[in-house]
Each structure stands twice: as C-alpha cells, then as structure tokens.
Structure 1
Amino acid sequence: MEIMIALLLVAALRYYFDNYTFAVKEIEVSSENIPKGFHEYRILHISDLHNTRYGRGNSRLISKVLELNPDAIFYTGDMISRQSLEKGQFEMLIEGLSHKYPSYYVDGNHEDELYGKDKEAFISLLRRNGIRHLENEKVLLERKGDQAALYGLRLPRRYLRNTYDAQGKEILTKESLKKSLGPLHKGFTMMLAHNPLYFPVYAEYGTDLVFSGHVHGGLVRLPVTGGVFSPDRTFFPRYARGVYEERNKKIIVSPGIGGIKLRIINRPAIYVVRLMRKESETQNIR
C-alpha cells in the first residue's frame, strides 16, 4: 500500500512537471553561411502557447523572456486557440513584451481559422505590440552591417493535416514554395513554418534554418521512438521536438509551451537559438 501511494505521488509530480512548468533549452547553430554580423545572434523561439497561463497575466513567462533578453523573438503559430480567438493569455504575454524585441509571427492552424473581424482584430493586436505578421513574404534582418533573410510561410489548411508522404493527398513541392515565397534569397536564409512535417521540401527549396512547432513534441514521448502522436492524426511523427538536419539544412521544432494537459515525458519549452558563424576550411588554411 505504501509503495502504491509513493508511485501515485511520483506520477502526480511528474504529470505536474510535464504539464504546468516549462524549460528553457539553448541550441547552438553553426554554419559558414551565417553572416559575420549575425555571429552570436540569439533568437527566442516560442510556439503553440494555446493561451496557456504561467502565472497571473503570464508573469512567469514574461519574466523569463525578459531575463533571457534575446535579439529577436520568432513565434511559429498556434499561440491562441480557436475557441478564444485573439483574447486571453497570449494577449497578456505580448503586451508584457510590447516593442521590447524585434518579433516575427507566422500563423498556425488555429489562427488560420480566424475570419473577417476576428482575423482583423488579431492582426491589429500583433501590430499594436510591435510584432511583424508574415504571410508568405520575406523580410531582411540587419545586424552590424550584414543581412539575413527571414521568410514566413503560411500554408493552406489542407497542408496542416496531410503530411508530405500521405498517399492520395496533395503534396507540397519545391515549386509550390517558389510560387508562395518567390525565388530564394542569396545569402543566409531562415523560415518560420508552423508545420515541420514538410521539412524535406523546405530543405530542397534551400532554406538554411527553419523554425516550426505544431506537433507538441508528440505529446507522449518514449525513450526509443520519441514522440507518439501527431496533429495530422498519424503516429510517430518524423519531426517532433529538437533539431533535425537534411541536405545540410536544419530545422528546429519547438515542443510548444502549452496545449492540452496530456504531456508525458515531454515538458513544454522555449528555445534560445544562438547563431554561430563557422569559418570555412579554406579561410583557415593560410
């Protein structure tokens, strides 16, 4: 009986830890393509809040962001939930961070379900708080005399449920991205794209570094297989949490900072991504 009580207590503590606290994970990305001016550039990557609260008015989350003091904030969608539209804890979060850091936002599937006045109110909320809303467009970031391109990809809703290898479904292609985003910028490029499951296509397009969310880390994580569930209603998503690489391109997939309270061994997190310029071998041989 005592052992059973102890196990239940441990399980309860683990559940609380995995669903009501969040971690800060630092990730270093090194590449020869990173401009010298962006060496040690620090990006706070946050995704899938779903209007979750961390302290009154999201004070715990706001305090942590201010403490981290990033160079920029990248939001990769689903910071609200379709039931709550533009109001709630996300609004309190960005009001607490209003105009403090260059901030960029791409829609997820929940924002995609806003229409008419609701969508206008949401975009106005972002604008009032100094957040650039990117819908299939490019902005040039500048630092210390150098530039890096940032794309914001907004896919039609049909691409949020059907993965790149789903049989009989429309498939996202490199040509589709070119139509949406135009030719790839020459130089170091980054992309905000809510759905990570198309990473092979993003890599084929040529984007150096992609930021995504959507999968919530797979909700339940197993020691060997990783994330179990995917929002596209399949099991064991290929990209669930962390850093992945293909074609010498990288994607950073946020596990999300909120969502339904069913996480197991999958603590919510915000990522701090540090860009590090790596000198080429030809430069080192002199």
Structure 2
Amino acid sequence: MEIFIVILLAAALRYYFDNYTFAVRNIEVSSKDLPKGFHGYRILHISDLHNSRYGKGNSSLVREVLKQGPDVIFYTGDMISRQSLAEGNFRKLIEGLAHKAPSYYVDGNHEDELQGRDKEAFLTLLARNGIRHIENEKMQLERKGDQITLYGLRLPRRYLRNTYDREGKEMLRKEYLDQCLGSSEKGFSILLVHNPLYFPVYADYGADLTFSGHVHGGLVRLPFLGGVLSPDRTLFPRYTRGVYEKEKSRIVVSPGIGGIRLRVFNQPTLYVVTLVRKDPEDAERL
C-alpha cells in the first residue's frame, strides 16, 4: 500500500511538472554566413501558448521573458485557442511584454480560423502591443549596420497534414514559397512558419534558420523514440522539439508553452537562441 501511494504521488508530481511548469532552454546557432552585426543576437522563441497561464496575469511568463533580455521575440502561432480568440491569458502576456523588444508574429491554425471582426480585433491587439504581424512577406532586420532577411509564411489549412491536403494533391513545394514570398534573398535569412513538418521545403527555398512550433513536442515523449503524436494525428512525427539540420539549413522547433494538459516527459519550454558568427575556417556547431 505504501509503495502504491509513493508511486501515485510521484506520478502526480511528474504530471504537474510536465503540464503546469515551464523551462528555459538556451541554444547557440553558429554560421559563417551570419553578418558580424548579428553576432550575439538573442532571439526569444515562444509558440503554442493556447491561452495558457503561468501566474496571475501570466506574470511568471512575462518575468522570465524579460529576464532573458531578448533582442527580438518571435511568436510562431497558436498563442490563442479557437474557443478563446484573443482574450484572457494571451492578452495579459503581450500586454506585459508590450514594446519591450521588437516582436514578430506568424499565424498558426488557430489564428487562421479567426474571421471578420474577430480577426480585426486580434490584429489590433497585436499592433497595440508593438507586435508586427507578418503574413507571406519579407523584411530586413538591422543591427549594428548589418542586415538579415526575415520571412513570415502563412500556410493554408490544407497543408496541416504532413502528406496530402484535403483534395489529395501533392505536398507543399518550394514553388508555393516562391509565390508567397518571392525569390529567396542573398545573405543570412530567418523564416517564421507555424508548421515544421515541411522543413526540407523551407531549406530548399533557402532559409538558413527556421522557427516553428505546432507539434507540441509530440505530447508524450519516449526514450530513444522521441515525440509520439502530432496535432496532425501523425505517429512519431519527424520534427518535434529542438534543433534539426539539413545541409546548411536549421530549424528550431518549439515544444510549445501550453496546450492540452496531457504532456509526459515533455515540459513546456521557452527557447532562447543566440546567433554566433563563425569565421569560414572554423567548424560550424550548434
């Protein structure tokens, strides 16, 4: 009986840890193509809040983001949930972070469902709190006299699944990115897009570094196997959390900071990515 109680308490503590607390992970991404002005550039990556809360008014989350001192904040979608639109905990979070750092936002599938006045109210909320909403466009980020290109891509709902859309057509192809974003620019570039499952396409397009979310780390993570399930109902999806590489391109996949409270060995996490310039003769590393 006592052993059973200990096991039950341990399971309850594990559940609480994996679903009601969050961690911060620091990642270094180095590249010989990074302009010198962006050496040491700190990116706070947050995704898939799903209107969750950490502390009253999301005060714990706000405090931790500010503590990291980011040069820029990237939001990669599903910060709201379709049931709650843009109200509540998400609103408190961005109000607490308003104008603290340049901030950029791409839609996830939940934001994609907003229409009419709801969509207008959401965009107004972002703008009022100093967040630039980017949808199928590119711009230049500047630091210390140097520039890098930032792309923001919105994927239609037909690309939610990682194989075929509803009509059974082909997978996402590079030509779609060319159509939405134009030809890729020379020099170091960053792509923001909610769904990571098309990373090979993003790499072929020419994005040096991509930021995504969507997969929630696979919800349940198993030793040696990784995340078990994606929101697209794909078992053992290829990209779930952390950094992945394809030739010189990399993708940072956030496990999310909220969502369904069914995580196992998959703590919600904020990512802080520091860009590092390496001389051409130096080996690149993560």
Q: What are the within-5 Å matches in structure 2 for residues 1-286 of structure 1?
A: 1-160=1-160, 162-164=161-163, 168-281=168-281
Asked whether the equivalents of residues 47 and 213 of structure 2 are also in contact (C-alpha less than 8 Å), the reply is: yes
1:132 counterpart SS class? strand
Give the C-alpha shift of residue 168 in structure 1.
3.9
Q: Say whether the 8 Å CA contact 1:48–1:77 is kept in structure 2.
A: yes
SS in 1 for 2:83: coil
What is the SS of the residue equivalent to 2:4? Answer: helix
Q: Secondary structure of the residue that 1:171 maps to in structure 2?
A: coil
Alpha-carbon deviation of 1:164? 4.3
Superimposed CA distance per residue, residues 151-198 of structure 1 (whole angstroms, 9 cap, x where no aligned partner): 0000111112x2147894431111111001101011100000100000
What code does the residue aligned with 2:101 have?
Answer: Y
Q: Secondary structure at the match of 2:252?
A: strand
Contact persistence 2:164–2:170 (CA under 8 A) = no
User: Following the alignment from structure 2 to structure 1, what is the Cα–Cα distance between the partners of residues 233 and 66?
Assistant: 36
Contact kept, 8 Å, 1:31 with 1:276, in 2: the verdict is yes
Distance, in Å, in 2 between the alignment partners of 1:125 and 1:33 is 36
Is contact 1:42–1:72 with CA below 8 Å preserved after alignment?
Answer: yes
SS at match of 1:3: helix
CA distance, structure 2, for counterparts of residue 260 and residue 281 of structure 1: 46
Aligned residue for 1:148, secondary structure, equals strand
Paired AA for residue 44 in structure 2? L
How far apart are 1:69 and its partner, in Å? Answer: 1.0
Q: How far, CA to CA, are the matches of 1:8 and 1:210 in structure 2?
A: 40
**How many aligned positions are there?**
281
SS of alignment partner, residue 108 of structure 2: coil
One-letter amino acid of the structure 2 residue matched with residue 53 of structure 1:
R
Q: What is the CA RMSD across the aligned residues, in angstroms?
A: 1.2
Separation in 2 of the partners of 1:43 and 1:165?
33
**Does the 8 Å contact 1:216/1:254 carry over to 2?**
yes
Cα distance change, pair 262–22 in 1 and its aligned pair in 2 (3 A)? same
Q: Indicate if the aligned counterparts of 2:106 and 2:134 stay in contact, CA closer than 8 A.
A: yes
State the shift of 1:61 in Å.
0.3
Q: What SS class does the counterpart of residue 74 from structure 1 fall into?
A: strand
How far apart in 2 are the matches of 1:234 and 1:249? 24
Letter in 1 for 2:70: P
The two structures have a TM-score, normalised by structure 2, of 0.96
**Secondary structure of the structure 1 residue equivalent to 2:74:** strand
- Cα distance per residue 1:224-271 (max 9 Å; x no partner): 110000111110000000000002200000000000100000000000
**2: distance between equivalents of 1:164 and 1:70?**
36
Range that drifts further, 223-232 or 168-177: 168-177
SS of structure 2 residue aligned to 1:230: coil
Q: Distance in 2 between matches of 1:6 and 1:60?
A: 30
Which stretches of structure 1, 4 residues or longer, exceed 2 Å deviation after superposition? 164-170
- In structure 1, give the amino acid aligned to 2:69: N
